[in-house]
Amino acid sequence: MKKQHLSQLVNMALTGFETGVSLLVLGDLTQYILLDPEGANLFEIIFGVIAIILSLIIFYESNKKFYPLTDWQYQKNLLVFEVAFFVGIFLAKTIIDLIIILI
């Protein structure tokens, strides 16, 4: 049972990380290519809200395959997913900024 729960947590972490990286890359590419600097701040706010909503939908759909879950397992999965989501955003943002500085 412990091994199964550990694999659930690893799966949630990978899903959160992939979601964070992909949504940040999509947002940054759209911002750098299509928007002027004046409209970029509003776009960041709107895209950030949409990214959080999409990440929670992805979390819910990813968790369906692990049912039945206790409330405690669900909370741990959510915590791991969100931490990995924001770590993915941070790493992707750092890498994109380094690439921009080097170019």
Q: How high is the pLDDT of residue 37?
A: 65
Q: What is the pLDDT of residues 24-46, one digit of tens each?
A: 888 777 777 776 666 667 777 77
Tell me how many domains the chain contains: 1
**pLDDT for 19 beyond 70:** yes
Q: Which domain holds residue 89?
A: 2-102
Q: d(Cα 30, Cα 42) in Å, to the nearest integer?
A: 13
Q: What is the pLDDT of residues 43-72, one digit of tens each?
A: 777 777 888 888 888 888 877 777 777 778
Q: How high is the pLDDT of residue 31?
A: 74
Structure tokens at 34: 């299509």
Stretch 91-95: mean pLDDT, rounded? 86
Q: d(Cα 77, Cα 56) in Å, to the nearest integer?
A: 12
Q: How high is the pLDDT of residue 86?
A: 86
Report CA torsion sign: 8, 83, 89, 63.
positive
Q: How high is the pLDDT of residue 35?
A: 65
Q: d(Cα 86, Cα 33) in Å, to the nearest integer?
A: 23
Q: d(Cα 62, Cα 81) in Å, to the nearest integer?
A: 10
Query: Residue 18 — pLDDT band, cuts 50, 70, 90?
Result: confident
